[in-house]
Amino acid sequence: VMCSKTNQDTCAKKKKSDAMMQSYMSAAATMALLFIPSDVTPFSFLSRSSMSPVRDGAHLSMSSIIDGPITLDGKVIRGPISPLSNFILVRNKDRIMATSGGIFLPEDVQTKSTEGEVVAAGPGQPHPHTGKIIPMDVSPGQTVLYTEYSGLEMKYCDEDMTMIKCHDVMLRYTGAMLTEENAEMCRDWVLVKLPPRQEVQEFTDGIVVAATVFKEDLPVRGTVVKVGAGRFTSKLEVMPLPVNVGDEVKFREYAGNDVTIQSEQYLVIKAIDLLAVLKDPENE
């Protein structure tokens, strides 16, 4: 394309935009090929590395080796799934099959687990303005807690797994179980410890009602116990969060995600959903 001096800037921007669009289209095509069964996938479109029957340690967990054919939703595929961009493949933990009182739930109303082990992670998402790759917050082998209703459930090698995005991960930890000590918050997520609540309320006529049915009894304040590093700017610099560990904060009803850690009640909430830091007059 021939450009005059007056149009050089415009042409340069157009070429850069076309190059970025071509890159995104190529990435989308690669994602589509990963999910096509082997009997219809052209051999020439697959790289040699994607045909290995063993998970690659650079991107996949080596905690287990794939034994036998690699399947996706019951159909054989040519090689292991390699997530793109900021996608993460998570091996789900068991669903919640009973209530805290020991009542077993039917399969159609069992609560979906939003906790699992990272099996594979993509290289990171390009920043929409600069194209710089935003680093991933998790790595294979870590256990993560992610937001409810996020991701795509699938059956991969006869195991229940979910493909989620990195920004859906609230926290990560390493170990047998989640504790306040080993919880590591991701990006702009904040872990808030809630004050103890009265489980039931009894009225004068003897009727006992769960406290959770009263809106005025929902917690709207708590103490910050863990904070994430912060969000990335266009230059991949980290912006610290406006709250610190030990701050007492106020938030809206129904904000965040309720989490129980070792019988204690917590809330995992985005920093942007925190309304205010409550100052203690005695410490001012």
The burial of 213, by beta-carbon neighbours within 10 Å (0-12 exposed, 13-18 middle, 19 or more buried), is given as exposed
What does the pLDDT look like over 186-233, one tens digit per residue? 999 999 999 987 654 555 555 655 555 555 567 899 999 999 999 999
Short-list 114, 132, 118, 116, CA closest to 59: 118
Average confidence (pLDDT) over 254-268 = 93
pLDDT value at residue 196 = 85
Is the pLDDT reported for residue 282 higher than 80?
no
| pTM metric for this prediction | 0.68
